[in-house]
Amino acid sequence: MRRRFAVWSTVSAVAMTLGVNVRAETGYDLWLRYVPLADTPQRAAYRRTAMAIVVESRSPTGATIVSELQRGLQGLLGVDAARVDRPSTDGAVIVGTPSSSPLVAALGWTDELARAGHEGYVIRSASVGGHAATVIASTGDTGLCTARSIFFDSCRLACRSNASTSSNVHGWSGGC
């Protein structure tokens, strides 16, 4: 009996000690965890390509996209990216559809975006207004939501492999 009490006391003490350092995370935190990129030179290179966010849509989806991009860029890169109306320097991340963003429409990607469909997307480096930018484009909001997550995954993968920050990503997903 004493031995059993000693074992349970030890197990309880260990469990309480471990519990002190555990922080509960919501499913949202687990799904959208943005751990800082470890490769300092690559992180610095990505910072230069993500200094501002341009989402011309003022819809609830547009606001969500801006919020998630700001959260992700802060977490991964330590960047406080402001929402701006147009790129004024190199390093903007532009998100939109040809119907919600004159900047995206002006790129002339209509055929490519039509092939990707409403849930598909294109992520590409481009010159917008004479400034280097990363453009996340789709014909629909679902594609934009999906592409936002793919954008961060691409950043993580490129940093792990020391890949270039300039790339083209095309895809399709079944949901946001």
* b/e map 96-133, b = 16+ CB within 10 Å: bbbebbebbbebebeeebeebeebbbbbbebebeebbb
Question: For the CA atoms of 84, 86, 90, 91, what is the dihedral angle to 10 degrees?
Answer: 40
Give me the CATH topology for the region 26-172.
Chitobiase; domain 2 (3.30.379)
Q: What is the mean pLDDT of each run of 10 residues along the chain (176 residues)?
A: 55 52 57 72 85 94 91 89 95 94 96 89 92 92 78 62 49 38
pLDDT of residue 133: 93
| Distance in angstroms (rounded) separating the CA atoms of residues 176 and 173 | 8
| Contact (CB, 8 A) for 47 and 92 | no
pLDDT of residue 176: 33
Q: Which two tokens stand for residue 24?
A: 């509960």
pLDDT of residue 160: 54
| Distance in angstroms (rounded) separating the CA atoms of residues 79 and 150 | 18
| Distance in angstroms (rounded) separating the CA atoms of residues 49 and 92 | 6
pLDDT of residue 154: 65
